[in-house]
Chain A
Amino acid sequence: MKLETSFEDDYRSALSEYAERSGEAGLGRAYELGRKAMTERKGLVEIVAIHHQALQRILREGRKEKRNGGLLRASADFLTESLSPYEMAHRGFQDAVKALRQFNEILEEEIKRIAYAVHDEAGQVLVAVHLALASLAAELPDKQQQIRELEGLLNKVEQQLRRYSHELRPTVLDDLGWIPAIRFLAESVSKRTHLLIQVKAAFAGRLPGAIETALYRIVQEALTNASKHAKATRVLIQVRREDGTLRCSIRDDGEGFDIRATHAEGKRRGLGLIGIQERLNAVGGTLSINSAPGRGTKLLIRIPLEDFNGDSSRSRR
């Protein structure tokens, strides 16, 4: 005889008791069992399996005279009740996904605003500095050399600002699409970080705006991970269309990581991956991650394009 009863045993005896004599106490017990299962991190499918096994055993051991119709009904009610805590969690998840989606939209707006401030507003100040320098040059003919150097530095600042601004929210993304945009991004990140990035795209069509933005942000996040956290030296981005699905893989030769542990700890990289996952949720895509310490990281993104032909003739706006 066992000293401690297992969850399965508790479930079965509660279900059996409820089948014998229905009543709120039995349903209350079902709810408590469901709640306990949740706090023990048992999955929904697991509970259904436990229920099914319990029901099978009750049927096997049950007396012949018992009406199985009544048992079936009781068993359904019991299962519904034990799953009700999961309903709460499910609704919570839906709320969270909605909030994240809104957060992404706000973020995108904010990024546009910052990109504008960096490029246009800071750019105007730089123009004013250029003009001031020009008039200074007219007054100080013997300082021409230094002033030209200053102008050279100013031009560099301007270039950098433009680059940052485009990286934040490239106009090329809207004008030419996400493939040219990630090529541009790859080039820009390479210059800044010395990461070797190769983009191999066997697909050039335009996609709906939401998908293109999602893909751009995902590649951006992956490149940040590769350069900052994984200390990679090379990244290969491959894009192709297979049947009705867009496949984009991003592979780096960095440190790699333990996927489970990173998710559990909620670290920056874990959050980044959750962000990628959420962007994919919003466009119906999936993410699979292949990584292990010392083995690099490969992200594979799949987005179904069933409702979309992907031809460039379709306008995004």
Chain B
Amino acid sequence: MAINSDQDIVAARQSGRALAAELGFSATDSTLIATAISELARNIVSYARKGEITVKTIPGSSRQGILVIASDDGPGIPDVLQAMRDGFSTSGSLGLGLPGVRRLMDEFQIASQPGRGTTVTVKKWKQ
């Protein structure tokens, strides 16, 4: 789904929470997934203005899990490693932002090309 406004963020959170409930995730994990989606959506809105968030089950695995892909065609991140470090940005110094998302989820991948956009892929497995 397209991420462009606060309503879009709410819709993305909603779909994450609905899928989490469907798969039988705990309420705590559902909250963490919604929080991660919010952080990713926030990043899209503040750095690329618009982008997309996809929420689905992790395919091809016997374990159940949620996959969230956040992508945009924004300016991209020149130094991904630096962006993943705590304290790089104001929110990062508080443990929020991308480093925070990495800690809330089980798996985290980021691909970014300056001038071409950023894609963050995160997974959370059902406990």
Contacts and interface: CB of A to CB of B under 8 A. Distances in A.
A27 B9 CA distance: 11
Contacts of B86: 92, 96
B104 interface: yes
B65 interface: no
A96 to B, nearest CB: 7
A91 B96 contact: no
Contacts of A25: 7, 10
Contacts of A307: none
Contacts of B126: none
B103 A39 contact: no
Interface in B62-110: 86, 90-91, 94-96, 99-101, 103-104
Interface in A81-119: 81, 84-85, 87-93, 95-96
Given A38-B96, A88-B100, A28 B32 contact: no
A35 interface: yes
A24 interface: yes
A25 B6 CA distance: 9
A85 B34 CA distance: 11
A9 B22 CA distance: 35
B43 interface: no
Contacts of B121: none
A281 interface: no
Interface residues of B, number: 27
B13 interface: yes
Nearest to B6: A28
B10 A91 contact: no
B4 interface: no
B124 interface: no
Interface in A193-211: none
Contact of A84 (B14, B32, B91): B32
B103 A88 contact: yes
B10 A88 contact: no
A302 B11 CA distance: 51
A25 B10 CA distance: 6
B13 A27 contact: yes
Contacts of A84: 31-32, 34-35
A67 to B, nearest CB: 20
Interface centre among A92, A93, A96 (most CB of B within 10 A): A92
Given A27-B13, A85-B35, A91 B103 contact: yes
Interface string A275-298: 000000000000000000000000
Contacts of A35: 96
A91 to B, nearest CB: 4
A178 interface: no
Contacts of B7: 25
B38 A31 contact: yes
A91 B80 CA distance: 21
Contacts of B90: 39
A156 to B, nearest CB: 46
A41 B125 CA distance: 32
A77 B34 CA distance: 13
A27 B52 CA distance: 21
A122 B17 CA distance: 65
A275 B14 CA distance: 43
18 contacts: A28-B6, A31-B34, A31-B38, A35-B96, A38-B94, A38-B96, A77-B27, A80-B27, A81-B35, A85-B96, A88-B96, A88-B100, A88-B103, A88-B104, A91-B95, A91-B100, A91-B103, A91-B104
User: Nearest 3 A-B pairs (CB), nearest first?
Assistant: A92-B95, A88-B100, A89-B95
Given A80-B31, A88-B35, A88-B39, 16 more contacts: A24-B11, A24-B14, A24-B17, A28-B10, A28-B34, A32-B38, A39-B90, A80-B28, A84-B31, A84-B34, A85-B96, A88-B95, A89-B95, A92-B86, A92-B95, A95-B103
